Amino acid sequence: MPETPEVTPLLQVRKLRVSFDGPAGPLHAVDGVSFDVGAGEVLGVVGESGSGKSVTLLSVLGLLGHTHARVEGSVRFRGRELIGLPPRELQRLRGREIAMVFQDPMTALTPVHRVGAQIVEQLQAHGRWSRSAARARAIELLAAVGLPSPAAQFERYPHELSGGMRQRAVIAMALSCNPALLIADEPTTALDVTVQAQILELIHRLRSDFGSAVVLISHDMGVVAGLADRVLVMYAGRVVEQGSARELFDAAWHPYTWGLLGSIPPLAGPRPLRLPSIGGTPPALDALPPGCAFAPRCAAADARCQAPLPLLPPGAHATACVLTPAERGAARLRCLNGSAAP
Amino acid sequence: MLLTLLRRLAQMLFVMFGISVITFAIFFATPGSDPSARIAGRNAAPETLAAVRQDFGLDRPLPVQYVLLMQRLFVTQDLTSFVNRGAKVLPEIAAATPVTLSLVGGAALLWVAGALVMGVAAAAWRGSWVDRGLMALGLIGISMPVFWLGALVNLVTQSRWHDTWLFSWVPPLGYTPLFENPLLWFQGLVLPCTTLAVLYVGLYARVLRGALIEAGTQDYIRTARAKGISERRVLLHHALRSSLLGVVTMFGLDFGALVGGGALLTEVVFALPGVGKLTYDALQTLDLPLIMATVMYASFFVVAANAVVDAAYAFIDPRVRDA
Amino acid sequence: MSAQGTAPLLDVRGLSKRYTVGSVFAPGGRRVVQAVDDVSLCLWPGETLGLVGESGCGKSTLARCLVRLLDVSAGTLHFEGRDITHLGARAMRPLRPRLQMVFQDPYASLNPRRRVADLIAEPLRVHTSMGAAQRLARVEELGALVGLRPEQLQRWPHEFSGGQRQRIGIARALALNPRLIVADEPVSALDVSVQAQVINLFADLRERLGLTYLFIAHDLSVVRQVSTRTAVMYLGSIVETGPTDALYAAPAHPYTAALIAAVPRPQVPPVGAPRAAPVLQGDPPSPLDPPAGCRFHPRCPAATALCRITRPPLQDNGGGRAVACHHPLPPPA
Taking only the tens place, the pLDDT of each residue in A80-90 is 999 988 988 89
pLDDT of residue B82: 64
User: pLDDT exceeding 70 applies to what percent of chain C?
Assistant: 97
Q: Please report the residues numbered 27 through 86 in chain C whose beta carbons come closer than 8 angstroms to any beta carbon of chain B.
A: 27-28
Q: Which residue of B has its CA nearest to C28?
A: B322
pLDDT of residue C17: 93
pLDDT at B273 over 60: yes
Spatial strand order of the sheet with A98-101 comes to A98-101, A181-185, A213-218, A42-46, A230-235, A238-244, A318-319
Contacts of residue A170 in chain B, CB cutoff 8 Å?
223
> Per CB distance under 8 Å, which residues of A are interface residues toward B?
61, 63, 65, 67, 87, 91-96, 99-100, 102, 104, 107-113, 121-122, 125-126, 157, 159, 170, 173-174
Provide mean pLDDT across the span C203-231: 91
pLDDT at B317 over 90: no
What number of CA atoms fall less than 13 Å from residue A7's CA on the CB side?
9
Whether B322 and C25 lie within 8 Å, measured CB to CB: no
Say if CB B79 and CB B72 are below 8 A apart: yes
pLDDT of residue C1: 43
Whether C224 and A192 lie within 8 Å, measured CB to CB: no
Contacts of residue C225 in chain A, CB cutoff 8 Å?
265-266, 271-272, 275
pLDDT of residue A192: 85
Range with lowest mean pLDDT among A104-118, A126-140, B87-101, B108-122? B87-101
pLDDT at A28 over 80: yes
pLDDT of residue A341: 36
Average pLDDT in chain A = 87
User: pLDDT exceeding 90 applies to what percent of chain B?
Assistant: 20
Which among C145, C163, C151, C161 has a CA at the least distance from the CA of C115?
C151
Q: Is C255 helix (H, G, I), strand (E, B) or coil?
A: helix
pLDDT of residue B309: 85
Residue C26: pLDDT band (50, 70, 90) is low
Q: How far is CA A140 from CA A119, A134, A144, A151, in A?
A: 11, 10, 6, 9
How far away is chain A from the Cα of C88, in angstroms, using its nearest Cα? 36
pLDDT at C5 over 80: no
Average pLDDT in chain B = 84
How far away is chain B from the Cα of A157, in angstroms, using its nearest Cα? 7
Whether C191 and A49 lie within 8 Å, measured CB to CB: yes
User: pLDDT exceeding 70 applies to what percent of chain A?
Assistant: 96
Q: How far is CA C246 from CA A32, C3, C52, C81, in A?
A: 48, 16, 15, 29
Residue C333: pLDDT band (50, 70, 90) is low
pLDDT of residue A302: 83
pLDDT at A31 over 70: yes
Residue B86: pLDDT band (50, 70, 90) is low
Residue C4: pLDDT band (50, 70, 90) is low
Whether A264 and C192 lie within 8 Å, measured CB to CB: yes
- Residues near C217 by beta carbon (within 8 Å), at least 6 away in sequence: C50, C51, C52, C185, C186, C187, C188, C223
Q: How far apart are CA A6 and CA A3, in angstroms?
A: 9
Strand C31-43 and strand C212-217: the pairing is: unpaired
pLDDT at B68 over 90: no
Q: Please report the residues numbered 6 through 35 in chain C whose beta carbons come closer than 8 angstroms to any beta carbon of chain B.
A: 25-28
Residue B85: pLDDT band (50, 70, 90) is low
| Residue among B2, B7, B8 with most chain C CBs within 10 A, to mutate | B7
Say if CB A159 and CB A111 are below 8 A apart: yes
Whether B317 and A94 lie within 8 Å, measured CB to CB: no
Q: Which residue of A has its CA nearest to B239?
A: A110
- Residues near C129 by beta carbon (within 8 Å), at least 6 away in sequence: none
Q: Which residue of B has its CA nearest to A182?
A: B226
Q: How far apart are CA A251 and CA A329, in angstroms?
A: 10
| Residue among C192, C225, C286 with most chain A CBs within 10 A, to mutate | C192
Provide mean pLDDT across the span A190-194: 86
Provide mean pLDDT across the span B210-239: 90
pLDDT at A61 over 50: yes
Is the reported ipTM for this assembly greater than 0.95? Answer: no
Whether B220 and A110 lie within 8 Å, measured CB to CB: yes
Strand C48-52 and strand C212-217: the pairing is: parallel
Backbone angles phi, psi at A297, to 5 degrees: -105, 5
End-to-end, the C-alpha distance of chain B in Å comes to 10
Q: How far apart are CA A6 and CA C229, in angstroms?
A: 56
Whether A281 and C222 lie within 8 Å, measured CB to CB: no
pLDDT of residue C268: 87
pLDDT at C198 over 80: yes
| Of residues B198 and B30, more confidently modeled | B198
pLDDT of residue A1: 43
pLDDT digits over C229-283, tens only?
Answer: 999 999 999 999 999 999 999 999 999 999 999 998 888 888 777 777 777 887 7
pTM, two decimals, is 0.83
Chains linked to B by 3 or more Cβ pairs within 8 Å: A, C
